[in-house]
Amino acid sequence: MNHTFFCRHVRHICRRKYDVRHATSLRWLSAVTPLSDPTSSTASTGIIPPTTNQLRIVALRAAIPMIGFGFMDNLVMITAGEAIDSTFGVTLGISTLMAAGFGQCFSDVAGNLSGGFVDAAVSKLRLPRHGLTQDQLDLRLSRLYSTLGACVGVVTGCLLGMSCLLFMDTDRADRARKAKELQSIFESVMREGKNLFHAERAALFMFDEETGELWSQVATGTKGIIKVNSHDGIVGACVQSGKLINVPDAYKDDRFDVEIDTKTGFRTKSVLAMPIKNDEGKIIGALQMLNKKNEDGSDGVFNSCEEQLARLMASHVKSFIRIVEG
């Protein structure tokens, strides 16, 4: 091949490529970026780059389904996780993170089952069509817009799914867990306290400032919750005065509320009541021991040693409450 023939061959190839590029550019010149732009490198392969409007539609069509999936994913995960945390979590001692993990399992299953529903719902929205071929959708720029649209959609859906937190009592599980811990501690204190004081019954009352009531869920010999007015009875006088009260014979004391014995059928004799205060000196409850028994089984009265023991037990209960609530 001589030099002249080679030069002609090269010029022929260049002219042909120019004619092809020029003819192609006439068809989409008004819709694409200039040839000097890096994104137009696909022109050499004969694939027409998508327009900006088409790319926006690609992003939109990728975002809308992900909004639905993100919404359902977060909604199911939070709802199921909170339900597990406030029920099985409290009963079995499951941590909040473990409950969240179980909630995510429910969310994944729900996502698989509801995928067809979301797709069907999106198909009814009549979203604008981009009119791109599969080759055009496989371009790097198209994939980039599709990925960004999907990311924006799933984040938007997750944020919308978190809206259920506005109507959810997020502290319910913590309160139930603390209540269970307190009940376990108090039952132990009352069970041991009854034996230490040689009393027929022992009760731990907590003071509710909002209702002005003393309530007890931990009282030996009784079932359910006991509620009394914070001004009634010997335990009410103990809370109001903030001082220990030791009564040898309840029926000879004007502060004693006879109606309690009438309702319960229990005969109260000696009473020892000790207020419980927090670190700021505020009354938060009271201990009450009823009917001291001597070693021979006869009725007795609470002495000074047992008064000191009541002060020590009240201090322990205060510490237990501080640890659990802290």
Q: What pLDDT is attached to residue 119?
A: 76
- Please give the pLDDT value at position 136: 92
The per-residue pLDDT for range 259-296, each reduced to its tens digit, is 878 877 889 999 999 999 988 889 999 999 999 999 88
Residue 245, token pair as written in the block: 């009260």
Q: Which pLDDT score is estimated for 218?
A: 63
Question: Cβ distance 214 to 235 under 8 Å?
Answer: yes
Asked if residue 201 has pLDDT above 60, the reply is yes
Predicted pLDDT of residue 289: 92
Q: Is the pTM of this model over 0.85?
A: no
Q: What is the pLDDT of residue 326?
A: 61
Distance CA 163, CA 108 (A): 19
In the 8-state DSSP scheme, what is residue 321? H
The residue count for the chain: 326
Retrieve residue 175's tokens. 């309160």
Distance CA 130, CA 137 (A): 10
The predicted-structure confidence for 302-325, as pLDDT tens digits, reads as follows 999 999 999 998 998 888 878 766
Q: Which of the four pLDDT bands, split at 50, 70 and 90, describes residue 31?
A: very low
Which H helix or E strand runs over 314? helix 304-325
Q: In angstroms, rounded to a whole number, what is the distance separating the alpha carbons of residues 232 and 239?
A: 10
Could you give the CA distance from residue 181 to residue 186 in angstroms, rounded to a whole number?
9
**Measured at the alpha carbon of residue 183, what is the angle toward residues 260 and 80, in degrees to the nearest 5?**
125
For residue range 208-244, list pLDDT tens digits in order: 888 889 888 766 666 667 788 888 899 999 999 999 9
Query: Could you give the percent of the chain with pLDDT greater than 90?
Result: 35
